[in-house]
Amino acid sequence: MKSMQKGFTLIELMIVVAIIAILAAIAIPQYQTYVIRSQVTRAMGEAGDLKTAIEDCLNNGLSNFGTASCVDTASSSDILSPGFPVVAWTATGAGTTITATMGGHANAKIQGGTVIWTRGTSGGWTCATDGTKITTQYAPASCQ
């Protein structure tokens, strides 16, 4: 009479466990990089929201950002350090910077790193990162 196999052998189970371990070893670091990139992108977006307020002030001829006539519209964020983003304002608008520092709820690899929006003389905005904590690996594609 023929004997039928009724389950998996130990070696088959060990092979499946090894395959899962190899896949996890590849996937976990990639996921962590993805999370860091999304946090940096979020910080760039939250700091970039102030560009509209700054442009509005400049278009209305106002020269003191953060006053009653030229309102700072930044909202608090758990990913940015308290008190950020910070606007370094110039009355002409050229050279105005928006700096955001990553706070305690950001990934440990990028805590203390900064993202910066800078307004040029033509009115265009460029972004940059500090390059030490937030390297090009983590910066958004539009901000390399």
Digit-coded pLDDT (tens) for 112-130: 999 999 999 888 999 999 9
| Nearest residue to 99 via CA among 110, 76, 83 | 83
Domain membership of residue 29 (yes or no) is yes
Model pLDDT for residues 70-116, shown as the tens digit of each residue: 887 777 788 888 888 888 888 778 889 999 999 989 999 999 999 99
pLDDT digit string, tens, across residues 8-50: 899 999 999 999 999 999 999 999 999 999 999 999 988 888 8
Please indicate, yes or no, if residue 106 is contained in any of the structural domains: yes
Q: What is the pLDDT averaged over residues 53-64?
A: 85
**CATH for 111:** 3.30.700.10
Number of domains composing the chain = 1
Task: Please indicate, yes or no, if residue 135 is contained in any of the structural domains.
Answer: no
Is the confidence at residue 1, as pLDDT, over 70?
Answer: no
Cα distance between residue 46 and residue 57, in whole Å: 18
- Tokens 């003389």, residue located: 121
Domain limits at 83? 11-129
132's CB contacts (< 8 A; 6+ apart) are: 113
